[in-house]
Amino acid sequence: MKAARSPKRSRRALGGGLGGLTVLVTAGLLAGCSATTAGGGAEAGGEPAGGGTYTVWDPYPQYDKTSDWVKLLDTCGTAAGVTIERTGYDTSDLTGKALLAAQQGNAPDVLVVDNPVVSTLAEAGVLTTTAENRLDVSAISPNLLAAGQSGGDTYGVPIGANTLALYYNKAVLDKAGVDVASVKDWASLTAALEKVTAAGKKGITFSAIGTEEGSFQFLPWFWGSGAQLTKLDSPQGVSALTLWTDWLKKKYAPNSVINNTQTTSWQEFATGEYAFAENGTWQLANAKETGFEYGIIPVPGESGGTAAAPTGGEFVSIPVQRDTARYATSQKLVTCLTSTDNSFATTTALSYIAPTEQVQARQVKENPELEVWVAAVRAAKGRTGDDLGTKYPKISEPMWGAVQAALSGAKSPQRAMTDAQGAAASAIQ
């Protein structure tokens, strides 16, 4: 393998990204990210290229040396002729440490980071591009790759993706006389919720909490209406918020959604009382333990079809190094971690859908239950996509505030979204 040419530093100073960090790190609130911070950071650099120790930082503090993930890191290190020194951090903690390490000139050799944070690190000059390090991303699904793009460049390789869909309780639907195949759009879903509540059961639960988690869950309905994040108060955007607000008014959804996280909304669904729950790929193992027959359908668009849901998951990136000779080995490590065979093993262990169609097909062949998730991931969008980059969190916060205001009755959906659009427009000027 040829050595990669030496990547150039971003034209923007490394300190330039710190101002927006406080807002952006909240974008990492996805299931699968532990709230526990691993002890002790590892400093990068200092070893000669072509041997020695290479550092990897990741957002998986829940995985120890016996895990398949850490074993894969060691295997890739051995193949590249180096020793891997790995540190796992909580997602939000990792972002701050990566920025600080880059400013100090001791960034890790390989950085695995939550996809909404990529644009912030890129714009701060922390990351090299895939073109600079000759990382092949040609087989990656474009919609997943978009989450790691900024200013026309790509800053890493997605390790996998998760997203949202609707879990359903078959017994609850059967009791209400609802055929799940009839649920194809918002009108048919709402009709199903009406039948379920009339039959004495509960309709749908989701997370509308006033954090990024709430925005994450609202986005399929927002995008499913045809709305764009640059115009929160469009008729389409208002219709999405009106849908949720009407569900609460008619008691098709509980008032608890206002404070629900994705975990607590899942706990509500697991009681067996609800017909539907919006939740993610990461709940599959828990779904098997509910004790009732369940199924999964995509979040429907307003007029039918599969709504675009936001992508979760991480990118494997190569940070800027003082010693540019290290890039050749870092490229080998990233290529190993994201290879077809290793991608299958990693995405299976992390409950992710693979970023390439080849591996997705293998996943479905071995586990047909994943077919609906593959379809959902193929329709999904990166939150920082559409070249929003670091503008996204400045839009997301007013959006989740609008959801909170409308669901609590403090504002009408129209007023809530109009105010949110004003706040977002001012923030991104």
Per-residue pLDDT tens digits for 227-246: 999 999 999 999 999 999 99
**Pairing relation of β-strands 153-154 and 149-150?**
antiparallel
The predicted pLDDT at position 50 comes to 55
Tell me whether residue 177 is exposed, middle or buried, using C-beta atoms within 10 angstroms of its C-beta: 0 to 12, 13 to 18, 19 or more: exposed
pLDDT beneath 50, residues of the chain: 1-49
Q: Where are the beta strands (DSSP E) in 67-163?
A: 83-88, 110-114, 149-150, 153-154, 157-158
Single-letter code of the amino acid located at 335 = T
Which tokens is 425 given? 């427009």
Please report which helix (H) or strand (E) contains residue 129, including its range.
none
Average pLDDT of the chain? 88
Evaluate the CA torsion angle 139, 142, 147, 152 in order and state its sign.
Answer: positive
Specify the residue for token string 């000669």: 48
The predicted pLDDT at position 25 comes to 33
Please report which helix (H) or strand (E) contains residue 166, including its range.
strand 164-169
Residues 6+ apart with CB under 8 A from 416: 241, 401, 402, 403, 405, 406, 410
Cβ pair 280, 162 in contact under 8 A:
yes
Cβ pair 354, 75 in contact under 8 A:
no
Single-letter code of the amino acid located at 55 = T
CA atoms within 13 A on the CB side of 152: 0
| Dihedral pair phi/psi, residue 191, rounded to 5° | -65, -40
Q: For residue 316, what are the β-bridge partners?
A: 112, 157
Cα radius of gyration rounded to whole Å, the chain: 22
The predicted pLDDT at position 5 comes to 32
Whole-number Å distance between alpha carbons of 271 and 393: 34
DSSP-derived secondary structure for 376-416: HHHH-B-TTTTTTGGGHHHHHHHHHHHHHHHHTTSS-HHHH
The predicted pLDDT at position 378 comes to 94
The predicted pLDDT at position 100 comes to 96
The predicted pLDDT at position 128 comes to 98
3-class state of residue 210 by DSSP: coil
Which parts of 141-185 fold into alpha helices (H)? 142-145, 170-176
Which tokens is 163 given? 């997203």
DSSP-derived secondary structure for 286-322: HHTTSSS-EEEEPPBPTTSSBPPPBPB-EEEE-B--S
Residues 6+ apart with CB under 8 A from 215: 383, 396, 397, 399, 400, 403
End-to-end CA distance of the chain, in Å? 45
Full set of structural domains in the chain with CATH:
14-162+313-379 (3.40.190.10), 164-309+388-427 (3.40.190.10)
Whole-number Å distance between alpha carbons of 36 and 136: 33
Residues 6+ apart with CB under 8 A from 292: 169, 170, 171, 272
The predicted pLDDT at position 341 comes to 87
**Pairing relation of β-strands 149-150 and 53-58?**
unpaired
CA atoms within 13 A on the CB side of 80: 29
